[in-house]
Structure 1
Amino acid sequence: MKMVNKKIGILTLALAMSLSSCKEDFLEAIPELSLSDATVFSTPARVESQVVGLYGSAKSGSLFGGRYLIYSDIRAEEFINRTTNSVTGYSTYQGNQDPSDTYIAAFWTQGYLTINRINLFLEGLTANPNSVSTALAANYRGEAKFLRALTYFSLVQFFAKPYALDNGASPGLPLRLKGEVTSANNNLARSTVAQIYDQVIKDLNEAENELPDNYSSALLRTTRAHKNTAIALKTRVLLAKKDYAGVITEANKIVSASAPFKSANRVAHELQSDVSSVFKAPYTSVESIFSFPMAETNAPGTQNQLGYYFNAGNVEYYLNPSGSGIYANPQFRAVDDRKTKLTVPTTSVAAFPSVTKFSGVSPYIDFVPNIRYAEVLLNLAEAEAEAGNQTRALALLKAVHERSDKGYDFGTLDKAGLVKAILTERRIELLAEGFRTNDILRRGEPINSFGAGAMIQPSETRYIFGIPLAETQTNPGIGN
């Protein structure tokens, strides 16, 4: 295990450097760059530094710190490209990306790098049982498994056919659960989509059991996983499987039976009265279940930041004002706070509407939201509408919508109309947060791509991203 321990130090502790500037709690971790084999797990502080490094790896600008979310939004109909800048996702926007695209490959590379760091950490923690207390070891295992689940689930959305098309029978991803320190085990075939989902759910179930109920500060509660974080992510995963009963079961752990909807267990999650407050410093309201923190010394990097793409000051992509985009949808009225407070109708760069959720200026260090309570309520609403209590589904929908637009009347909705209204609400509420294309894919629907000027059908190769060349060239088992 000495060699493994050394590699853990190299791969994860160095990442603590990117988090060392924030002046609260775990973000103060000091990087330890030269550790001997014997000292990697010698103190609780060093073990926690490794955990911090796992979050640092996941929040890379090429993964959850920016581009992963951005590419999900720009593939569909909500945004129009202004600059034709090849560096900022233009090929994906046009629907002509291919496996040689280095920016798409970066999702894969950073994702698997993060997964490998997690695997190495879990192995090292097991091999050093006296490095921290039993309770802390469980806490850290839960955090690592949560991050592994988040990463695998996110990658399988982009690089494999949706579960809904064939109940997960299609080729998924190479399932790597062992830490690697050499290239000796590169040769690994793809597990099925269903097998990847099984592992994701297994990790989340185990994480839920091991994670703490809460943390000592609002910052930690928002930026490190706790039990409700794992539960909330399970509702997203099970929704993508169309396991509506499972979504309802999990969501009920953190959503009350009736309005006003809030969590009575552990962290008291609820919607904030002003939606814009969720996207302002300190970014730690109880609506924010999990976010990636940013600071000037660990910004996502040039041309990776959400603000760089969408803010009024730069506007790589502005909101589609035509009928196909959500901005013009009648459910998204002019009086809606999400329009009046989180978009601007015109800008100095382009005379078109822009998103201002991420309102910071360069270096764009707004926290990156990953899971919000509003999403959980909409996940539950969709599941109830599809296979449960439609009265409750409508109440959940109204709770989210009326928070920002109290005068809207949904009228009388049948099941199909209710589901459509909920899916439309997701486009409004979660705009520019990385959900749009994945919401299309998980339902097996065609992508209405503004950039491609066409409906991209599930049968087309470009419906999902191809496995990057870097993987096919180094892993002979990957197949097609």
Structure 2
Amino acid sequence: MKLSSLYTKVASIALIVLLFSCQKYYDPTEFIDEESALTNEADVGTATIGTYAVLKNASYVRSGHFIMEYPGDAVAQGQSSGDDLTRAYRYTHINTSDHCTNFWSQAYKVIAAANKIIEFVPDDASAGLLQLKGENLFLRAMMHFNLVRIFGRPYPQKNGDNPGIPILREGLTDEEATSLSRNTVKEVYDFVIADLLKAAEMMTVAKSNAFASKEVAYALLARVYLYKEDNTNAVKYADLVINANRYTLLQGSEYSGYFRTLPESNRETIFCIRHTKVEDRSMSSIGSMYFSGDVSGNPLGQGVSGWAEIYASKKYYDFLTKYPEDLRNTFVTPYIADGKLQYNQKLTPVTPMYYVNKYSLQEGQINLSSPVYLRLGEVYLIRAEAEAKRGNVDAALTDVNKLRERAGLSGAALYTESKIQELGKSALDVVLEERYLELAFEGHRAYDLYRNNRPMERNYPGTHSLSNTPTTDLYQKILPTDNRVVFYIPQAEINRNSKLIQNP
């Protein structure tokens, strides 16, 4: 069955999955006992598609993007918004944040749906059932990992001995599931790693990049180990992905069109949250916040096809355009009208309107995108960072240069050990700069800084200046130890579960 028709068919199934799998955690008084719903492999397959459908909800995808990407310095908000996303950008967090509440709730709904299948399928089941159980283990691990990243402090701070998020295992009673305390960051990481290792063992089918498979689990393991600063294992699992030869770094025009192509045909994407043409979210899409234009990618004014309120920051744009031949310039579309760069006039100083198109124009639809969660370019950078931290400078620079070469850079734009010494930089400096260039707008930047004990500094136009006196002072600096590095636990969850202790 084609993926598009499959997703359409399971829309109602996803609702059923929510009813029997998710209400158990969130509203036990409305829990519907559906123990008889899963009886065979076909049922489990259908329910698993339902879990992926739950993952695609805007409460997870859109809200998650806002609270992961907007605290970074690759983006600039050009005007205040009535949407809660402004608080994520400005670091003026509140405990009733809409996007945090949405993300927390939807992530646990995915976990609850996955748990139903994990509990049903025994570890000695058929290969087909184990494949499906492995996919749900991956989804459960992914949700816990993203939750602890947003609501728990980076692992290197106190070696994981900070409050994380509740671990929701399979097999809990209603009372147990609704009265969980926060596990430590370390406990959550250990749980995630165990799930991913088990998932990798169970998955034997190389599915498309809209589904989990062995290498997808390996790629996330590489990221988890990197964030944990277990650099040996980060290299190990990055190598397993790279050497599997399932994925290829896109080159030339294919790379320039990375985010516009049919996701299944993208040989670099390891895992994405697939959206089909009928799932275009229009003005409610992620891309709507970054871009307004026509189907050819030509920029137009705000409100034509999108809100276009979030731009590439001047800091990022200046760093990117140091090399005009860098193909990554194609992911930023300056809004030029009558031969002049346009500025958002709603702030002082005014904000240059550098549109971002990484979440637009998939398959020729302006606001359609399938957000990429894991891709081979990141895996090379995971390995590079881990090697830099192990003191293997040549290995780190080799991986960095591989990405710079595929971006069209050569000669003096490439790095050698002597060159970085002349620049007064370390190998880690170079890797983090390359992550800034390569993974911009994909939800990594702020966390990359904080987990490496580095501050996030903004000195460019944007609404962060509204936090200052005078508001024309553009400088904002967030230290990695700042309370604002993590978001508040949603107050609605604390009201529901008094064992949840709030972040300071």
Which band: TM-score by shorter chain?
0.7 to 0.9
Q: Structure 2 CA distance, aligned partners of 1:358 and 1:105?
A: 23
* Range with bigger deviation, 435-444 or 464-473: 435-444
Asked whether 1:276 is paired with 2:262, we answer: no
**Aligned counterpart for 2:449 among listed residues 420, 440, 444:** 440
Kindly indicate whether the alpha-carbon contact (under 8 Å) linking 1:213 and 1:228 is maintained by their aligned counterparts in 2: no
- Written as runs of structure 1 = structure 2, the 5 A alignment for 1:128-143 is 134-143=126-135
For 1:373, give the aligned amino acid: L
Partner of 2:151: 159
Kindly indicate whether the alpha-carbon contact (under 8 Å) linking 1:447 and 1:463 is maintained by their aligned counterparts in 2: no
Kindly indicate whether the alpha-carbon contact (under 8 Å) linking 1:116 and 1:179 is maintained by their aligned counterparts in 2: no
For 1:230, give the aligned amino acid: A
Asked whether 1:366 is paired with 2:369, we answer: yes
Partner of 2:191: 199
1:301 Cα deviation after fit: 7.3
Asked whether 1:344 is paired with 2:333, we answer: yes
Rate the CA distance shift 1:43–1:441 in 2: closer, same or farther, 3 A: same
Q: Structure 2 CA distance, aligned partners of 1:42 and 1:280?
A: 40
Partner of 2:310: 317
Asked whether 1:235 is paired with 2:222, we answer: yes
Partner of 1:461: 483
Partner of 1:41: 38
Higher helix share: 2
Q: Structure 2 CA distance, aligned partners of 1:88 and 1:335?
A: 37
1:406 Cα deviation after fit: 2.3
1:38 Cα deviation after fit: 7.1
RMSD: 2.7
The C-alpha deviation readout for 1:108-135, integer Å capped at 9, x for no partner, is 11111111111122123349x8xxx701
For 1:317, give the aligned amino acid: I
- Percent identity, aligned pairs only, is 25
> Secondary structure of the residue that 2:83 maps to in structure 1?
helix
Kindly indicate whether the alpha-carbon contact (under 8 Å) linking 2:41 and 2:129 is maintained by their aligned counterparts in 1: no
1:461 Cα deviation after fit: 2.1
1:445 Cα deviation after fit: 2.4
- Written as runs of structure 1 = structure 2, the 5 A alignment for 1:78-157 is 78-87=74-83, 89-126=85-122, 134-157=126-149
1:421 Cα deviation after fit: 1.4
**Aligned counterpart for 1:402 among listed residues 395, 401, 405:** 405
Partner of 2:316: 326
**Aligned counterpart for 1:417 among listed residues 402, 405, 426:** 426
Rate the CA distance shift 1:199–1:416 in 2: closer, same or farther, 3 A: farther
Kindly indicate whether the alpha-carbon contact (under 8 Å) linking 1:312 and 1:344 is maintained by their aligned counterparts in 2: no
The C-alpha deviation readout for 1:425-474, integer Å capped at 9, x for no partner, is 11111111111122122223223256254212233321210111011111
The C-alpha deviation readout for 1:222-278, integer Å capped at 9, x for no partner, is 1111111000011111111111111111112122xxxxxxx3x2x521201132232
Rate the CA distance shift 1:58–1:93 in 2: closer, same or farther, 3 A: same
Displaced runs of 4 or more, over 6 A: 33-36
Partner of 2:472: none
Q: Structure 1 CA distance, aligned partners of 2:401 and 2:233?
A: 22
Q: Structure 2 CA distance, aligned partners of 1:192 and 1:475?
A: 17
Kindly indicate whether the alpha-carbon contact (under 8 Å) linking 1:62 and 1:107 is maintained by their aligned counterparts in 2: yes
1:168 Cα deviation after fit: 0.2
For 1:459, give the aligned amino acid: T
Q: Structure 2 CA distance, aligned partners of 1:88 and 1:167?
A: 32
Partner of 1:356: 357
TM-score, with length taken from structure 1: 0.84
> Secondary structure of the residue that 1:98 maps to in structure 2?
coil
1:59 Cα deviation after fit: 2.1
Larger relative CO (CA 8 A, sep 6+): 1 or 2?
1
1:46 Cα deviation after fit: 2.6
For 1:410, give the aligned amino acid: Y
> Secondary structure of the residue that 2:396 maps to in structure 1?
helix
> Secondary structure of the residue that 2:374 maps to in structure 1?
strand
Rate the CA distance shift 1:330–1:374 in 2: closer, same or farther, 3 A: closer
For 1:269, give the aligned amino acid: Y
Unaligned runs of 5+ in 1: 1-19, 216-220, 256-262
> Secondary structure of the residue that 1:76 maps to in structure 2?
coil
Q: Structure 2 CA distance, aligned partners of 1:157 and 1:38?
A: 33
Partner of 1:479: 501
Unaligned runs of 5+ in 2: 21-32, 294-305, 344-351, 468-474
The count of residues paired between Structure 1 and Structure 2 equals 437
1:30 Cα deviation after fit: 6.7
Partner of 2:64: 68
